[in-house]
Amino acid sequence: MHPFRRILVYASPADEDQLALELGARLARSTGASLTLAGVVEPQSFSRPFRRAIDELDARCERERLEAAVADLRKEMEVRVEILRGTAWLELVRFVLRDGHDLVLKAADGMGRGSGLFFGSTALHLIRKCPCPVWVVGSEGASPRRVMAAVDPGEDEVRGATARRVLELAVALAGEEVHPVAAWNAPGETLYQSRMPPSKLEAYVRSAREEAERGLKRALAGLPIAAERVQLVKGDARRVLPALVEKEDFDLVVMGGLGRVGVAGFLIGETAETVIRSVRCSVLVVKPPGFRSPVERDA
């Protein structure tokens, strides 16, 4: 399976080791996808007589930086270089909408105060509003070894379809090294312990687990994933998923961003946003069916 056909790499100045470009090149080699490297020049607040000249100079310097970055790579593949002008996340989303990219790569900005990767405003805006999957690349760069496919296989159609997308993409990227993980709980279980007969409480909790099992089984149907790699973990996903990433040394988490769909103005789900702010590894966020970017194609 070749999941990507048009890969866009954001050449953030913070990515001094060119981790995102390295990953983009590896994916392009393996899938035959096209590769575009984009830089963004944000307007300077100079007075009008100097603004145009300064903007043009900045754009020329940025193009020179990007051309130097891909000089060796162009000996083996075609790489397109684009210079965008404006606010980075907004112009990148508009570029994706215009050009039909199906993956955006951006390096993480470093380690944050909470010991997780620092997802700056550009990364978070892309994760929330970009119509295609967004891969925020951590220090392991182009060689993720162990991949967690974090799914939320609920009974509703959108959750089930998003879980399937996550699993299919994870398998395409990592094959047998995919470890599907689903967190489940019985809402209100602690509260009900003193208000519900033990037998009814046990049946309620069992029902919640069985619902999660059914959803996970549907999402996994037909995929080449060994049963022993699948984990159904009880607990709040916002806590158990980051803990499991740390414990089992995953270096890429593939997950869905569930929130409002079908209307412009998508909001990433609270669970997904909490997880991506807590882990120390790369994160690839997949949009659910029906997602519409709140960004217009043209300014």
Domain boundary assignment for the chain: 1-138, 144-299
C-beta of residue 251 within 8 angstroms of C-beta of residue 282: yes
State the pLDDT at residue 265.
Answer: 39
State the pLDDT at residue 267.
Answer: 43
State the pLDDT at residue 118.
Answer: 65
* Percent above pLDDT 70 for the chain: 88
Q: Does domain 144-299 have CATH number 3.40.50.620?
A: yes
Q: pTM for the complete prediction? A: 0.89
Q: Which residues of the chain have pLDDT under 70?
A: 1-2, 45-51, 110-119, 140-142, 258-269, 298-299
State the pLDDT at residue 49.
Answer: 66
Architecture in CATH for domain 1-138 = 3-Layer(aba) Sandwich (3.40)
Cα–Cα distances (Å) from 53 to 47, 81, 85, in that order, read 11, 21, 14
Domain 1-138 shares a fold with domain 144-299: yes
State the pLDDT at residue 254.
Answer: 95
State the pLDDT at residue 140.
Answer: 67
